[in-house]
Chain A
Amino acid sequence: MFEARLLRSSILKKVLEAIKDLLTQATFDCDDNGIQLQAMDNSHVSLVSLTLRADGFDKYRCDRNISLGMNLSSMSKILKCAGDKDTVTMKAQDNADTVTFVFESPNQEKVSDYEMKLMNLDLEHLGIPETEYSCTIRLSSAEFARICRDLSQFGESIVISCTKEGVRFSASGDIGSANIALAQTASVDKEEEAVVIEMEEPVTLTFACQYLNYFTKATSLSPQVQLSMSADVPLVVEYRIPDIGHIRYYLAPKIDD
């Protein structure tokens, strides 16, 4: 028996928003520790890794490890039926071919349940090596979303260049070029608005705008985002989801032909 209950359905709704542009289907691997999802997008240039820890749920029970293969567009349709303040419970029997979502309104006067067919997904699991990154940059998630959106108007790629002075985002194309430089913040009133850079050595890498924009669909999950970069390895874009886990996106850099 698997049962996971969240007091607010909004977290699950936001998680779905954060992955559904990249993935059409994915397996939620559930065990004692919580729920894990790892999947590559169809073109195999980015990978999504989601962790929701058992202790972040209001109630969590997983008697036996279970993999729930879900069509994310169907799951998204079902989650749209939940009010933001509704409690959501995901349930599945061992070896089940369906998963049930139960939504309860705050006053318990409305209880809805939706059963969804599970899919048998043939999965490729990738081993993500422990990496020491040359640069990590922490900044406001809304600021990062804005930068990606603004630079997308100029070209298909964004160059991210990190030095000890700060981080520079650049794009160029037919209409011209754009550069946005952020200096490390000396002091801020709100911690989530700070720009914090840890740098071992400077790094400059180029990434596809389109994917960075997909990743920023996770903005509502966290006030801050962390970018980790090293030469010739994938960029990690991490959003920590308060009290329950994180979503990480890995994107392979573009290289010269």
Chain B
Amino acid sequence: PLTQTKLQNFFTQI
């Protein structure tokens, strides 16, 4: 099974 990851894991919050 594959899980859709969230973008917050990659981009920094400004």
Contact = CB atoms under 8 A, between A and B. Distances in A.
B13 A127 contact: yes
Contacts of A175: none
Interface in A59-116: none
How many A residues are at the interface, by size bracket? 20 to 34
Contacts of A253: 5
Given A125-B14, A127-B14, A44 B1 contact: no
A254 B12 contact: no
Contacts of B2: 157, 206, 254-257
A34 interface: no
Contact of B4 (A127, A129, A252): A252
A47 B5 contact: no
Nearest to A208: B4
A127 B7 contact: no
A234 B8 CA distance: 11
Contacts of B4: 43, 45, 208, 252, 254
Contacts of B5: 45, 252-255
Interface residues of B, number: 14
B12 to A, nearest CB: 4
Interface in A119-156: 124-129
B2 to A, nearest CB: 4
A40 B2 CA distance: 21
Contacts of A257: 1-3
A139 to B, nearest CB: 24
Interface string A171-213: 0000000000000000000000000000000000010100000
Contacts of B11: 47, 126-129, 234, 250
Contacts of A124: 13
A1 interface: no
Contacts of A256: 1-3
B3 to A, nearest CB: 5
Interface of B: 1-14
5 contacts: A44-B8, A46-B7, A129-B12, A208-B4, A252-B5
Interface of A: 40, 43-47, 124-129, 157, 206, 208, 233-234, 250, 252-257
6 shortest interchain CB distances as A-B pairs: A254-B2, A126-B11, A127-B12, A252-B5, A125-B14, A257-B1
Given A44-B8, A126-B13, A208-B4, 12 more contacts: A40-B7, A46-B7, A47-B11, A125-B13, A126-B14, A127-B12, A127-B14, A157-B2, A206-B2, A254-B2, A256-B2, A257-B2
